[in-house]
Chain A
Amino acid sequence: MRKPLFHIAAVIGLIATALSVPVAAQGEPVRVAEFLAECPISHRLPDDPIVLPNLPGASHSHDFFGNRSTNARSNQQTLEGATGNCNPVSDISSYWVPTLYRDNTAIAPTGVTFYYLGEGVNNPAAIQPTPYGLKIVAGNAKATGDADSIARWSCLHAGHVNPSKNFVQCPAGTMLETYLDFPQCWDGRNLDSSDHKSHMSYPVAGGCPSSHPVPVPKLRMVLRYPVNGTTAGLRLSSGTGQTMHGDFFNVWPRAEMERRVRNCINVVIKCDHNGNHG
């Protein structure tokens, strides 16, 4: 028999009704599969524990967020013994991006949010917790133009400025922002790979490919920089805006990650910093 196909919102509405999901005073829970961590800049180093492991000083400059201890020699054991600067404090994962410069002056982002989302795959109920120790690299540090880049630059509070894969000129009073979506399909076996990419994949037509069958939450990094006006002199330590890339080393405590995937992602509900809703 052909399975009935329901509109996802209708299905979720029925589930919510049936389960009597607590409804916030101001209205219905937001039916977006999401939890988040906000992690300001922690430190800046010419280190990269994924691409140049154990080689301090050998990398282009990176801005690090989250775990306070991240350096070239970081591994799962060193990171899990340290603390982080995220809200929630339970997220001691490590995140890093190339440093942004105007001429030779480094500019730190002042808004740094990591969203974990259920979008991108058709069945968020099947999404699994991100494996502990998983390393993911997103974006193309070697991009030579728009064609081989997935970077996205836009302006906060200036939606009329078209997004671009390279830096955009933001009006006075607005901020330059960049979005980066990490691949969300895992091969189910490897926490890293020699090119740091092939153990992960983006979904295809709403599902994870058989080579990478395990859906995990989609990590979306949103950075906001105190920058507007001309793009002259703007560069990343990796080159043009098109080379924007991000690295993620998952050290969320297992129980915290599992609870959020179960309570926010699988049931498609927007959670707060503590992984709660309603």
Chain B
Amino acid sequence: MTVLLLAGLLAACQQAPPPAAPPPPPAPSSTQNGYGATERAFVELAIATDEQALELLGPTGRAELRENRNTELAALRTLLDAPYVNHHAGHDMPGMPTDAEIQLASTDPDAREQFVRAHLTESLEVIRSARQAITHPPTAEVVALMERHRTAELAAG
């Protein structure tokens, strides 16, 4: 019995490893001038950032900033190709006010001013990064709009 068992095990061991799976297709990536992985990632991040910015501004924040963020949100949402999921809630993302900052800003106008400026300067960096990476024309238009908004907002205050 033992001999038979060992012979069986040896045979099993000497078999070649199972054949490898066929090579898979390339990973999804940005299609030429299409709405690809980079566009999707940017749009989802920009929605999360603008929504937090509106929370930071609150009802008494600078009116033109509120209007611009709302305009951007409307344009960004038209670009989505799937239901929106916030992948960045609770994260410390460049340009995205955190919940702790929003809470502090609600009682401290000076802190709010500082956080608004950080939102504008940091999100402008992200937008400039996106400008170089995004090829999908409708997304690129929104990126350009967001860059114009922030440049003007920083100049104004």
Residue of B nearest to A142 (CB): B89
Contact A18-B41, Cβ < 8 Å, known A60-B92, A131-B21, A238-B91? no
Cβ of B30: which chain A residues have Cβ within 8 Å of it? 53-54
CB contacts under 8 Å to A, within B24-75, are: 24-30, 37-38, 40-42, 45
Chain B contact residues: helix, strand, loop or mixed: loop
Question: Is there a chain B Cβ closer than 8 Å to A69's Cβ?
Answer: no
What is the chain B residue whose CB lies nearest that of A240?
B90
Report yes or no: B21 in contact with A58, Cβ–Cβ below 8 A: no
- Bound-state Cα–Cα, A120 to B10, Å: 24
Total number of B residues with any Cβ neighbor in A under 8 Å:
38
Q: How far is the CA of A262 from the CA of B133 in the complex (A)?
A: 41
Given contacts A52-B45, A54-B30, A142-B89, list 4 more A-B pairs with CB under 8 A.
A15-B9, A18-B13, A58-B129, A142-B90
Interface residues of B in 1-35 (CB under 8 A from A): 5-6, 9-10, 12-13, 17-18, 20-21, 24-30
Whether B94 sits at the interface, judged by CB under 8 Å, is yes
Q: Assess whether A53 is in contact with B130, with CB atoms less than 8 Å apart.
A: no
User: Counting CB contacts under 8 A, is A19 at the interface?
Assistant: yes
- A–B pairs, 20, beta carbons within 8 Å: A14-B9, A18-B10, A52-B41, A52-B42, A53-B30, A53-B38, A55-B38, A55-B42, A55-B130, A58-B129, A59-B93, A129-B20, A131-B24, A141-B91, A190-B28, A191-B24, A238-B91, A239-B90, A239-B92, A262-B17
Given A54-B133, A58-B45, A46 and B5 contact (CB-CB distance below 8 Å): no
A residues near B (Cβ < 8 Å) are 11, 14-15, 18-19, 46, 51-61, 72, 75, 125-126, 128-129, 131, 133, 135, 141-142, 144, 186, 188-194, 214, 235, 237-240, 243, 261-262, 266-267
Q: With a CB–CB cut-off of 8 A, which chain B residues contact A267?
A: 13
A1 CB to nearest B CB, Å? 13
A239 to chain B minimum Cβ distance, whole angstroms, is 4
Q: Which residues of B contact A (CB under 8 A)?
A: 5-6, 9-10, 12-13, 17-18, 20-21, 24-30, 37-38, 40-42, 45, 82, 86-94, 125-126, 129-130, 133
B25 touches A189 (CB 8 A): yes
In contact, B87 and A51 (Cβ under 8 angstroms):
yes
Q: B41: which of A55, A237, A239, A261 is its contact (CB, 8 Å)?
A: A55
Q: Which residues of A contact B91 (CB under 8 A)?
A: 60, 141, 237-239, 243
State A188–B88 Cα separation when bound (angstroms).
29
Q: Check A192–B27 contact: CB distance below 8 A.
A: yes
A58 CB contact (under 8 Å) in B29, B40, B86, B94: B94
| A53, B129: Cβ atoms closer than 8 Å | no
